[in-house]
């Protein structure tokens, strides 16, 4: 019987291939893969694991993205070539077709609820922070909703850019500031000038005379109505007093 002798000293000098440790961690669910994807928004760094997309950012460099991820998410990263299947899902998501899954494990249940509700806002529409607070059962937590959205680790794909201030003003945006928010909303078809004109006038809802339904100004319900068929309201009480009921799709108020 042959005896195999192993030189432990020499074995200790053998170096593992580059990225080996990260790949092992990724297989164990302790590290995420990432790549940079060319999108309609420009280059976006995206991290994902077997549970779904875990982070997204428009960074100056891979090093900046890695540093932010390790600090805020707390896992290692392994850079890979951008898989075609993931790229296709990302493009679909940005066009309004929901195909991505998300890994929100590191967030509080409240923040997860905020982001899951934000996912329900259709492309080309906006909702106020108060709408999300009411929809998730915490109507008084408007400020906390804003904080959760400001710390959204997956902007663009979880569309916090579709959430505006309760007075109708566009507001800030953690994915690149107000100008980036305006650019993305315009790309999605939001009529910002109309929205801002209504906000300056203190008008929060639009009603359609033919249906006696009132909505948020970007709701699809009034998309095909002529301008002369619209009536605008400052608040819910004014709309109800005029005989209008809330839209069942955008839910501007409790039915």
Cβ contacts of 113 within 8 Å, gap of 6 or more? 136
Cβ contacts of 46 within 8 Å, gap of 6 or more? 34, 35, 36, 37, 53, 55, 56, 86, 90
Cβ contacts of 78 within 8 Å, gap of 6 or more? 19, 22, 23, 25, 26, 31, 32, 33, 34
User: Rounded distance, CA 47 to CA 78, Å?
Assistant: 9
Our answer to whether residue 250 is catalytic in this structure is no
68-75 own/partner pairs: CB under 8 Å, 24+ apart: 69/32, 69/34, 72/153, 73/32, 73/47, 73/106, 73/153, 74/106, 75/25, 75/30, 75/31, 75/32
- In 10 A of CB 17, how many CB atoms? 7
Annotated catalytic residue: which of 160, 215, 219, 250? Answer: 160
* Residues labelled catalytic: 160
């Amino acid at each position: 019987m042959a005896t195999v002798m192993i030189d432990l000293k020499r074995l200790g000098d053998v170096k593992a291939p580059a990225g080996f440790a990260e790949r092992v961690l990724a297989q164990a669910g302790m590290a995420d893969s990432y790549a940079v994807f060319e999108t309609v928004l420009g280059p976006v760094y995206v991290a994902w694991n077997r549970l779904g997309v875990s982070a997204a950012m428009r960074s100056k460099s891979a090093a900046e993205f890695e540093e932010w991820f390790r600090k805020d998410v707390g896992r290692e990263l392994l850079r890979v070539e951008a898989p075609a299947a993931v790229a296709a899902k990302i493009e679909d998501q940005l066009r309004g077709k929901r195909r991505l899954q998300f890994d929100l494990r590191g967030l509080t249940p409240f923040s997860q609820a905020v982001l899951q509700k934000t996912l329900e806002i259709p492309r080309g529409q906006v909702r106020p922070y108060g709408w999300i607070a009411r929809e998730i059962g915490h109507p008084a937590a408007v400020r906390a909703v804003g904080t959760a959205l400001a710390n959204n680790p997956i902007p663009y794909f979880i569309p916090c850019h579709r959430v505006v201030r309760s007075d109708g003003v566009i507001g800030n945006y953690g994915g690149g500031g107000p100008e980036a928010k305006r650019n993305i909303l315009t790309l999605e078809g939001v009529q910002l000038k109309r929205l801002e004109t209504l906000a300056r006038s203190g008008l929060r809802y639009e009603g359609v005379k033919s249906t006696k339904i009132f909505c948020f100004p970007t709701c699809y319900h009034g998309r095909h109505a002529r301008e002369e068929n619209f009536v605008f309201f400052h608040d819910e009480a004014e709309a109800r007093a005029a005989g209008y009921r809330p839209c069942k799709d955008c839910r501007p108020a409790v039915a």
